[in-house]
Amino acid sequence: MHQANGSVLVKKLTASIGASVSGIDLKALSDDGLRCVRQAIAEHCILVFRGQFLAPEEQLAFAAAMGEVVLYEGLEAPKDLPAGVMRLRNDGRMEKITENWHSDGVYLENPADYAILAPHVLPAAGGDTMWSSLYQAYDGLSPGLKHLLGDLQCVCESNRLTKGYGLQQLFSATKPIVRKHPDTGRPYLFIGGTDAFVNFVNMTREESEPLIRYLYAQAYRPDIVYRHMWQPGDVVMWDNRCTLHYAVHDYGVEPREMHRIAVRARPAMA
């Protein structure tokens, strides 16, 4: 726990990932408050703000302060929300494409750096979201495996997204499996789910699959996971580059509506 910028309090949620931020009003974010948020997200990867009750326009203003709001490629935006705000509803468990460990847009050449999520309708119980640390996933690997991965690149495809939303386009990108975060310099494991990762470059799918599945399993060990129990008024922001997340669908047919915004960080942090 540490005090930052006077009344703003940043408190760890687990030893590995996540922090709560109190003493800050996201509707009236000062320059000092913005600097505090930027420092905290770089250190903790996930930030939880309670009691904010942001309208879509206010959530969008907070996102714009953090960087460039980006649209979801291939998905139709809701017409009754500001551009950049995506509505996520309970479509039923069989239609849910986010009930798996993943990061967003790994199959894009330039995916969003941050995501900001706020609930507008919550079920009576359940509907938690989990996040894991890809810093910790990489740190837990052996020196020999780290050396091997340093030379590998992977092919990523939007198989789950394309099938789940009935899209005509299949997005694809090739990226290194180990990356360094531009803000912290720390290496992290770049893996966004077995459906997205097809194979390593110059290796067949059959050769690649055992290692991909092993790395995927290391990326959501219980000791590197934070599980968030949503409350009205919550806002959760996370770094999409160095985390995975999992939306737990354990609430049946009850309504659950979330508003989500994707953000690309500005090149230099203030």
Per-residue pLDDT of the chain (270 residues; tens, 9 = 90+): 555 555 899 999 999 999 999 999 999 999 999 999 999 999 999 999 999 999 999 999 999 999 999 987 666 778 889 999 999 988 765 555 667 899 999 999 999 999 999 999 999 999 999 999 999 999 999 999 999 999 999 999 988 777 767 777 889 999 999 999 999 999 999 988 778 889 999 999 999 999 999 999 999 999 999 999 999 999 999 999 999 999 999 999 999 999 999 999 986 544
Give me the phi and psi of 40, to 5 degrees please. -70, -40
Q: In one letter, which amino acid is 170?
A: L
Which residues neighbour 203 within 8 Å (Cβ) at sequence distance 6 or greater?
A: none
| Cα maximum dimension of the chain | 55
Q: Which has the closest alpha carbon to 236: 136, 98, 135, 130? A: 130
pLDDT value at position 267? 67
Q: Using alpha carbons, list the distances in angstroms from residue 260 to 95, 187, 224.
A: 18, 27, 24
Residue 178 CA to residue 175 CA, distance in Å, equals 9
- List residues bridging with 133 in a β-sheet: 243
Q: What is the pLDDT of residue 2?
A: 57
Is the overall model pTM greater than 0.85, yes or no? yes
φ, ψ (nearest 5 deg) of residue 155: -95, 125
Sign of CA dihedral 31, 33, 38, 42: positive
Looking at residue 7, its pLDDT comes to 84
Rounded Cα–Cα distance for residues 164 and 173 (Å): 19
Residues forming a β-bridge with 118? 259
